[in-house]
Every structure is written in C-alpha cells, then in structure tokens.
Structure 1
Amino acid sequence: MTRDRGLEEILNDELMSEPDLKEKAMFGGWAWLVNGNLLCGARDDGMLVRLGKDNDGWALQIAGIVPMVSRGRQMHGWVRVAPEVYGNDVLRRKLLESALTFVRSLPTK
C-alpha cells in the first residue's frame, strides 16, 4: 500500500481543529487518532473510518462504502470509503462526525 497525499490533505483540513488529535503512519498509509484511539486512515485504496461495532449499518447502505477487511478478516465497526464517496463533502463530514462521536466515547489511551 502507498499513501494518498491528496486524501491526507482533505482529512487534515477536516480535522485540524479537533482537540487531542495525533497523526502517525499506520495501515500502510496515514492514520489519525483522538485521545490515543484510532479515528480514521488514508491509503491509496480509500479512506478508512472507525464508526464502532454495530454503528456502521447506515454507512454500509451507501454505494462505495464497504466493510474494512484486514488479512482476510472483517474489522467490525470499520468501513472503507471509495473516492466518489469521500469526495462528497456532505458524506465525508457525516462519516467523520459519526467516527468522532464514537471515538470520543472511548476511554483515553
């Protein structure tokens, strides 16, 4: 996997005012964490978003959003988002706000 600098820039712009946000290399791309908990990621094969187990049903009904699979195993609560979806400002913001709501509910690491 390689990094997607364009997607990283989009996510940085969206998340730059988020308190307690950290960034690091992860998933073969770039990841954002809030309070030490993974929030989302950017790779050349799409945007990864952590919505939380049983919180992803609404997103999976949208064409271009699929469950995240890692090493052949579905990562429940995570979705992979195609460019045509994350390129839509409204959908991207809805996904990120849902992810932020979930991640803020987790204990700080």
Structure 2
Amino acid sequence: MAYDEELADRVRDLVEGEPGLSEKRMFGGLAFLVNGNMAVSASSQGGLLLRIEPTRTESLVDGQHVRRFEMRGREMDGWLRVDVAVLGTDEELRRWVDHGLAYARTLPPK
C-alpha cells in the first residue's frame, strides 16, 4: 500500500520552512527529516509514524488511535503510530507533527 499523499501534503505544509528539513521514502512511507533525523512520516499503513522522546511514549499512547510502533513483533518506545481518525483537523495534525519535530531537533545532525 502506498502512503496517503493527501496526508503527506498536509504534513509538508506544516513543516515548510523548518531548518534542515528533507523528505525521504522510508518504511514504505514518506518521511520528513530534520538534519537527517526522522521526525514524522506519512505511513504506508495509513496515518502517521512518529518519532518522539522515548520517555513520553506512555503518556501519548491511548490504546485506540495512538499506539507504539511495532517492529518484528516488538513494541518500540519513542515511536508511535497515529491513526488518521485523530488527524482530521489541521490543529490535530499539527499537535502530532510538533511532537516529532521537537524531538528531531534535539538529536545530533546525521
């Protein structure tokens, strides 16, 4: 499945002008990186794949629309899947994108 191009365009509008921004195909989706570090991605599985401060994972997971990213059967702290159901408005999308941008800005450039 290809990523949601409309969602990618919405994210692109929000991150426009971010210093060090680039786009890259990753994990089957379209990722937005800050200084080479992934912040957020329009996921090939729908919704967003989001990179966050690992210690914030538990406080952001809701068990229904926001959950830990799972790789090879293992849930990963610091990575979230956010369903499109909670991204209906620009404000809702901005809330999640801002989490990813904030964390990516703290990482050393690649």
Normalised by the size of structure 2, how large is the TM-score?
0.88
Q: Which residue in 1 is equivalent to 2:100?
A: 99
RMSD (Å) for aligned C-alpha atoms: 1.6
Question: Is this contact kept in 1: 2:30–2:42, CA < 8 A?
Answer: yes
Q: Distance in 2 between matches of 1:72 and 1:62?
A: 16
Q: Which runs of 5+ in 1 are unaligned?
A: none
1:1-109, aligned counterparts within 5 Å?
1-45=1-45, 46-61=47-62, 63-109=64-110
In the alignment of these two chains, the number of paired residues is: 109
Match of 1:68, SS state, is strand
Q: Which runs of 5+ in 2 are unaligned?
A: none
Letter in 2 for 1:29: G
Shift of 1:84: 1.3
Letter in 1 for 2:79: W
Percent of aligned pairs with the same amino acid = 37
The worse-fitting range, judged by mean Cα deviation, of 9-18 and 61-70 is: 61-70
Match of 2:13, SS state, is helix
Normalised by the size of structure 1, how large is the TM-score?
0.89
